[in-house]
Amino acid sequence: MARLTLPGLRRDGARTLLVVLLAAVAALAFAACGGDEEPDDAGAGDDYATVLELAPIHELEVRIAESFPPQYFLGVVSGLPSGCAELDGSEVAVDGMTIRVTVSNRVPAPGVLVACTAIYGFAESTVALGTGADFTSGTRYTVLVNGERTSFVAQ
């Protein structure tokens, strides 16, 4: 094993020098990570600018509450593609016998440099579709969610 020796330094002095150098390198690395500075492109309420994007859909299930009139809900399991993605919400639009649901994630805006964990997560949500007054009994309705489809027959 090679030994670090510097002229005029005893062994204890070399250890002290090594510890000081390692501390300096650690301090420089920490400073390079950005600290608590606010980014120039910060969005309202965020530490960085964000945009909405369609969430990947993994599961859809129509649930009918046993009430009068019946209430219709959609159980959704959607994906969160990184640690920076978070479920933003959903919107419902009814057009005849087709119900269109848009589920969105809030993600960093293109070009924003932010460190995100590369962990794929899931979000569960429930979307109110309407009540018995909104649907005709015995009619099949198609529910489209970000390109995925399911259906149900109204009671």
Position 45 scores a pLDDT of: 44
Position 40 scores a pLDDT of: 37
Backbone torsions φ then ψ of 8, nearest 5 degrees: 85, -5
Contact 103, 55 (CB under 8 A): yes
Total-model pTM: 0.67
Position 132 scores a pLDDT of: 84
- Residue 48, pLDDT > 60, answer yes
144: nearest Cα among 100, 102, 103, 104:
100
Residue 13 to residue 122: CA distance in whole angstroms: 54
For 9, the 3-state DSSP assignment is coil
Query: Diameter of the chain by CA atoms?
Result: 95
Position 68 scores a pLDDT of: 87
Strands (E), 1-139: 50-54, 57-65, 71-80, 86-95, 98-108, 121-131
pLDDT bin (cut points 50, 70, 90) of residue 10 is low
pLDDT bin (cut points 50, 70, 90) of residue 19 is low
Neighbour-count burial of 149, counting CB atoms closer than 10 A to its CB (0-12 exposed, 13-18 middle, 19+ buried): exposed
Q: Of 5-9, 16-20, 24-28, 60-64, which gets the smallest average pLDDT? A: 5-9
pLDDT bin (cut points 50, 70, 90) of residue 143 is very high
Higher pLDDT pick, 31 / 65? 65
Q: Which residues contact 90 (CB under 8 A, 6 or more apart)?
A: 76, 101, 102, 103, 104, 125, 127
Mean pLDDT of the chain: 82
Position 6 scores a pLDDT of: 47
- Residue 33, pLDDT > 60, answer no
H-run or E-run covering 10 = none
Q: Report how far apart, in Å, the C-alpha atoms of 142 and of each of 56, 101, 126 are.
A: 19, 11, 17
- Reported as a single tens digit per residue, the pLDDT across 113-134 is 999 999 999 999 999 999 988 9
